[in-house]
Amino acid sequence: MIVIGLGGSLTEKFKIHGGETLKGEVSICGAKNSVLKLLAAAILVKGCTKIYNVPDLTDVKIMLNVLSELGAKLDYNMEEKSVVVDASDITSVTAKYELVSKMRASFTILGALISRCKEAIVALPGGCAIGERRVDFHIKGLETLGAKIKIENGYVHAKAPKLVGADLYLDIPSVGATENLMLAAVTAHGSTRIQNAAQEPEIVDLANFLNTIGADITGAGTSEIVINGVNLEDFHPAEYTTIPDRIEAGTFMAAVVATHGKALIKNIYPAHLTFFNDKLIQMGASIKLADPTTIEVSSRGRLNSINFVTQPYPGFPTDLQAIAMSLLTTANGVGIITESLYENRFMQVPDLRRMGADIHQDRNHAIIKGVKNLAGANVAASDLRAGAALVIAGLMANGETIVEKLHHIDRGYETFEKKLASLGAKIVRYNDENVNINMGVTNESRL
């Protein structure tokens, strides 16, 4: 049963008039890539879990639909930005292709279902625009814990009457695999060690949440996570607040720097952005800690070019790569970006070139020679972060930029245009029929 509509931004576009300097303050939402996993983990509790700082995003609604189809009852309070998940009764163990194919993160339900129901039938997510994005580490790790897994007709069928803790090694520190394995191992007999685990703040948040509801996990945030299995009955209702979204924060910082502005970025954990901040400073931006959860970011004059390689946390985040590329398009000199996580994450390049950028791409390297100015053009978001990068390019460009395919952007940025407009950007959301030109749709109208 689909309980929550996914919004209608397929036909909507942004119209941006570039050249405005962004000033003021903006508050950052809860982390998309954390809350999705917290929601999945909430099915471990035979009762009600309340999660705060839940952003209003399409991806969150997809995960709520996944939970609803499993039988969980949900109360999504958008005013309070909270969701209560009542997982007293889980009546299905199937996450259907229709939902999993819309959002890969719903695959995290696999580990949670294995712990809760000892069984799961979850659609394989398949590749996506930015790369093949396999799930072999998830499957191999679950099998090592004792799950019997068959892949049939595009679904993972997992049976796990008794999981036993084990030493697990990841070939690369995959975020999703670390999360699925933690979720399954929390109810395994004995101890599980995940080595070469992902160290992202979202992993720490999931471990903290799991510990809050009754798990016994140590080492999250390092490359070795130890999970001592507990009984399913040990999980209990609790309240929990999602960490701030470091990628949304980095996106707004970049937008301010791109327009030579000055703004306070509020409700963040500055330590989660250390590497990105350092790169912005190398480019000539000024970054000051205003208080423990606020950064003041500003820039003047032309930025300097930099080189960087995307890496797992704490390295340069791949999710800010496209956004940083927009900054480099008009920086002084030549910058080189190496994308080391995904095979196809330079999809913004053709559209940036259409705006006048000088970018040479050779496999996973992009060489960006800074030009004086970008010029507005019609462009289309090809994925979430590429879309945000084009919006930033539009803010930098002379004249008008139209960004299409906003459904990609709405997956991960809550009221993106409203927040940018509040900083002084000239940006409106409209649809082709021109019936609804406004300064961004309201939360209610996108339900």
Which residue number has the CB closest to ligand EPU?
Answer: 176
- Spell out the long-range contacts of 92-98 with Cβ–Cβ below 8 A and sequence spacing 24 or more: 93/117, 93/119, 93/120, 93/121, 94/69, 94/70, 94/121, 94/122, 95/66, 95/69, 95/70, 95/120, 95/121, 95/122, 95/123, 96/69, 96/123, 97/123, 97/154, 97/155
Q: Which stretch binds ligand EPU (CB under 6 A): 38-46, 49-57, 125-133, 363-371?
A: 125-133
Of the pair 155, 342, the CB lying nearest ligand EPU is at 342
Task: Please enumerate in sequence order all residues whose Cβ is within 8 A of that of 323, keeping only pairs 6 or more positions apart, or say none.
Answer: 250, 251, 254, 385, 388, 389, 392
Contact letters (x/-) for ligand EPU, 18-47, by CB under 6 A? ---------------x--x-----------
Q: Is residue 176 at the binding interface for ligand EPU, with CB under 6 A as the rule?
A: yes
Q: Tell me the site size for ligand EPU, rule CB under 6 A.
A: 25
Give the strand pairing for 82-86 and 94-95: unpaired
Of the pair 199, 305, the CB lying nearest ligand EPU is at 199
Residue 29 is among the residues annotated as catalytic for this protein: no
Q: Reduce the DSSP state of residue 256 to 3 states and report it.
A: helix
Helix (H) or strand (E) holding 239: strand 239-241
Q: Which stretch binds ligand EPU (CB under 6 A): 133-141, 145-153, 159-167, 260-268?
A: 133-141
- Residues in 185-204 that interact with ligand EPU by CB under 6 A: 198
- Residues in 96-115 that interact with ligand EPU by CB under 6 A: 104-105
Out of 51, 166, 254, 341, point to the residue binding ligand EPU (CB under 6 A): 341
Work out the angle at residue 111's Cα, subtended by the Cα atoms of residues 386 and 49, and round it to the nearest 5 degrees.
Answer: 85
d(CA 192, CA 178): 12
Q: Is residue 138 at the binding interface for ligand EPU, with CB under 6 A as the rule?
A: yes
Q: Contact, 400 vs 16, CB < 8 A?
A: yes
d(CA 203, CA 155): 25
Out of 15, 118, 134, 426, point to the residue binding ligand EPU (CB under 6 A): 134
Catalytic residue (choose from 29, 48, 117, 128): 128
Contact letters (x/-) for ligand EPU, 49-78, by CB under 6 A? ------------------------------
Contact letters (x/-) for ligand EPU, 391-410, by CB under 6 A? --------------------
Question: Could you tell me the smallest distance in angstroms from the CB atom of residue 343 to ligand EPU?
Answer: 7
Task: Please enumerate in sequence order all residues whose Cβ is within 8 A of that of 335, keeping only pairs 6 or more positions apart, or say none.
Answer: 305, 306, 307, 328, 367, 368, 370
- Residues in 295-324 that interact with ligand EPU by CB under 6 A: 318-319
Question: Could you tell me the smallest distance in angstroms from the CB atom of residue 367 to ligand EPU?
Answer: 22
Give which of 326, 327, 252 is closest to 295, Cα–Cα: 252
Q: Reduce the DSSP state of residue 369 to 3 states and report it.
A: strand
Question: Could you tell me the smallest distance in angstroms from the CB atom of residue 165 to ligand EPU?
Answer: 20
Question: Could you tell me the smallest distance in angstroms from the CB atom of residue 224 to ligand EPU?
Answer: 17
Give which of 86, 31, 87 is closest to 57, Cα–Cα: 31
| Residues that bind ligand EPU in the complex, under the rule CB under 6 A | 33, 36, 104-105, 131-138, 172, 174-177, 198, 318-319, 341-342, 384-385, 412
Give the residue numbers annotated as catalytic, written as ranges.
128
